[in-house]
Amino acid sequence: MARKSLAAAALLMAAAALAASAATMSVQVKEAPVRATPSFVGKVVGTLAYGDRIEVQQTQGAWSQIAGKGISGWVHSSALSTKKIVLASGREQARVAASGDELALAGKGFNSDVEAQFKATHRDIDFTWINRMEKIRIAPAESQAFLKDGLVAPKEGGAK
Protein backbone atom coordinates (compact mmCIF):
# COMPACT_ATOMS: atom_id res chain seq x y z
CA MET A 1 0.00 0.00 0.00
CA ALA A 2 2.82 2.38 0.91
CA ARG A 3 4.54 1.61 -2.41
CA LYS A 4 1.39 2.49 -4.36
CA SER A 5 1.05 5.77 -2.47
CA LEU A 6 4.71 6.57 -3.03
CA ALA A 7 4.43 5.74 -6.75
CA ALA A 8 1.28 7.86 -7.09
CA ALA A 9 2.97 10.79 -5.32
CA ALA A 10 6.04 10.51 -7.56
CA LEU A 11 3.85 10.40 -10.67
CA LEU A 12 1.89 13.44 -9.50
CA MET A 13 5.09 15.38 -8.79
CA ALA A 14 6.52 14.47 -12.21
CA ALA A 15 3.32 15.64 -13.94
CA ALA A 16 3.37 18.90 -11.97
CA ALA A 17 7.02 19.51 -12.85
CA LEU A 18 6.28 18.85 -16.52
CA ALA A 19 3.32 21.24 -16.49
CA ALA A 20 5.39 23.91 -14.73
CA SER A 21 8.21 23.61 -17.26
CA ALA A 22 5.94 24.20 -20.26
CA ALA A 23 5.76 27.86 -21.27
CA THR A 24 3.03 29.38 -23.41
CA MET A 25 4.44 31.46 -26.26
CA SER A 26 3.19 33.25 -29.38
CA VAL A 27 4.33 32.94 -32.97
CA GLN A 28 5.80 36.33 -33.94
CA VAL A 29 6.45 35.72 -37.64
CA LYS A 30 4.01 35.38 -40.55
CA GLU A 31 4.57 31.63 -40.83
CA ALA A 32 6.67 29.32 -38.67
CA PRO A 33 7.49 25.88 -40.04
CA VAL A 34 7.22 23.10 -37.46
CA ARG A 35 9.92 20.50 -38.07
CA ALA A 36 10.30 16.85 -37.12
CA THR A 37 13.80 17.53 -35.77
CA PRO A 38 15.59 20.60 -34.35
CA SER A 39 17.28 21.56 -37.61
CA PHE A 40 16.60 23.89 -40.54
CA VAL A 41 16.86 20.84 -42.79
CA GLY A 42 14.40 18.81 -40.72
CA LYS A 43 11.21 17.67 -42.44
CA VAL A 44 8.39 20.22 -42.13
CA VAL A 45 5.45 18.53 -40.38
CA GLY A 46 3.20 21.59 -40.16
CA THR A 47 3.04 25.36 -40.07
CA LEU A 48 2.04 27.83 -37.38
CA ALA A 49 0.66 31.27 -38.16
CA TYR A 50 1.34 34.71 -36.71
CA GLY A 51 -0.26 35.03 -33.28
CA ASP A 52 -0.76 31.28 -32.69
CA ARG A 53 -0.31 30.33 -29.03
CA ILE A 54 1.64 27.14 -28.35
CA GLU A 55 3.27 25.32 -25.42
CA VAL A 56 7.05 24.95 -25.35
CA GLN A 57 7.92 21.52 -23.94
CA GLN A 58 11.71 21.93 -23.93
CA THR A 59 14.52 23.80 -25.65
CA GLN A 60 17.60 22.46 -27.37
CA GLY A 61 20.04 25.17 -28.38
CA ALA A 62 18.12 27.69 -30.49
CA TRP A 63 15.20 25.29 -31.02
CA SER A 64 11.99 24.84 -29.03
CA GLN A 65 9.99 21.63 -28.95
CA ILE A 66 6.36 22.73 -29.15
CA ALA A 67 2.83 21.39 -29.01
CA GLY A 68 -0.35 23.17 -29.94
CA LYS A 69 -2.81 23.87 -32.74
CA GLY A 70 -2.85 20.12 -33.46
CA ILE A 71 0.87 20.10 -34.28
CA SER A 72 3.93 18.98 -32.34
CA GLY A 73 7.56 19.30 -33.34
CA TRP A 74 10.42 21.81 -33.35
CA VAL A 75 10.33 25.55 -34.10
CA HIS A 76 13.30 27.91 -34.19
CA SER A 77 13.11 30.09 -31.08
CA SER A 78 13.49 33.32 -33.09
CA ALA A 79 9.94 32.72 -34.39
CA LEU A 80 8.50 32.74 -30.85
CA SER A 81 7.77 35.42 -28.27
CA THR A 82 6.75 35.30 -24.63
CA LYS A 83 4.54 38.32 -25.36
CA LYS A 84 0.89 37.68 -26.19
CA ILE A 85 -0.01 38.83 -29.69
CA VAL A 86 -3.59 40.04 -30.04
CA LEU A 87 -5.08 40.20 -33.52
CA ALA A 88 -7.75 42.89 -33.87
CA SER A 89 -10.24 42.35 -36.69
CA GLY A 90 -10.90 45.28 -39.00
CA ARG A 91 -7.91 47.31 -37.90
CA GLU A 92 -5.10 48.42 -40.16
CA GLN A 93 -2.49 46.72 -37.97
CA ALA A 94 -2.77 44.07 -35.31
CA ARG A 95 -2.16 45.15 -31.72
CA VAL A 96 0.92 43.42 -30.39
CA ALA A 97 2.88 43.51 -27.19
CA ALA A 98 6.06 43.76 -29.30
CA SER A 99 6.77 46.66 -31.65
CA GLY A 100 6.95 46.24 -35.41
CA ASP A 101 10.70 46.87 -35.30
CA GLU A 102 11.12 44.13 -32.67
CA LEU A 103 9.19 41.70 -34.85
CA ALA A 104 11.18 42.66 -37.95
CA LEU A 105 14.44 42.17 -36.09
CA ALA A 106 13.27 38.83 -34.72
CA GLY A 107 12.23 37.76 -38.20
CA LYS A 108 15.64 38.86 -39.51
CA GLY A 109 14.08 41.17 -42.09
CA PHE A 110 12.63 44.58 -42.84
CA ASN A 111 9.09 45.66 -42.17
CA SER A 112 7.43 47.87 -44.80
CA ASP A 113 8.23 51.13 -42.94
CA VAL A 114 11.92 50.30 -42.51
CA GLU A 115 12.16 49.21 -46.15
CA ALA A 116 10.51 52.43 -47.40
CA GLN A 117 12.89 54.53 -45.29
CA PHE A 118 15.91 52.58 -46.57
CA LYS A 119 14.81 53.01 -50.20
CA ALA A 120 14.26 56.75 -49.66
CA THR A 121 17.79 57.23 -48.32
CA HIS A 122 19.38 54.95 -50.96
CA ARG A 123 17.69 56.07 -54.19
CA ASP A 124 20.74 55.02 -56.23
CA ILE A 125 20.29 51.32 -55.42
CA ASP A 126 18.30 49.12 -57.84
CA PHE A 127 16.19 46.63 -55.89
CA THR A 128 14.92 44.71 -58.95
CA TRP A 129 16.95 41.56 -58.31
CA ILE A 130 16.27 41.63 -54.58
CA ASN A 131 12.54 41.84 -55.29
CA ARG A 132 12.82 38.90 -57.71
CA MET A 133 14.78 36.80 -55.19
CA GLU A 134 12.19 37.46 -52.50
CA LYS A 135 9.55 35.87 -54.74
CA ILE A 136 11.47 32.60 -55.18
CA ARG A 137 9.85 29.74 -53.28
CA ILE A 138 11.49 26.33 -52.92
CA ALA A 139 9.27 23.50 -51.78
CA PRO A 140 10.47 21.62 -48.68
CA ALA A 141 10.48 18.35 -50.66
CA GLU A 142 12.79 19.93 -53.24
CA SER A 143 15.16 21.09 -50.47
CA GLN A 144 15.18 17.62 -48.93
CA ALA A 145 15.96 16.01 -52.31
CA PHE A 146 18.80 18.49 -52.90
CA LEU A 147 20.36 17.70 -49.52
CA LYS A 148 19.95 13.95 -50.02
CA ASP A 149 21.47 14.04 -53.53
CA GLY A 150 24.42 16.06 -52.22
CA LEU A 151 24.90 13.68 -49.26
CA VAL A 152 24.49 16.61 -46.86
CA ALA A 153 23.93 15.39 -43.30
CA PRO A 154 23.66 17.93 -40.48
CA LYS A 155 25.41 17.25 -37.16
CA GLU A 156 22.10 17.53 -35.32
CA GLY A 157 18.53 17.04 -36.38
CA GLY A 158 18.11 16.40 -40.06
CA ALA A 159 15.20 15.20 -42.12
CA LYS A 160 13.07 12.43 -40.73
pLDDT band, very low/low/confident/very high, at 59 (cuts 50, 70, 90): very high
5: in domain: no
4, part of any domain: no
107-122 pLDDT, tens per residue?
555 667 777 888 888 8
Q: Which helix (H) or strand (E) covers residue 26, if one does?
A: strand 23-27
pLDDT at 90: 57
Write the CATH number for 127. Answer: 2.30.30.40
Res 39 pLDDT > 60: yes
**Do the domain assignments include residue 101?**
yes
Domain of residue 132: give its range.
Answer: 21-149
Q: How many domains does the chain have?
A: 1
pLDDT greater at residue 124 or residue 152:
124
Which range (22-31, 41-50, 56-65, 83-92) has the least confidence?
Answer: 83-92
In a domain, 2, yes or no: no
Rounded Cα–Cα distance for residues 160 and 15 (Å): 29
Report how far residue 143's alpha carbon sits from residue 149's, in angstroms, rounded to the nearest whole number. 10
Q: What angle do CA 126, 133, 81 make, to 5 degrees?
A: 110
**In-domain check, residue 139:** yes
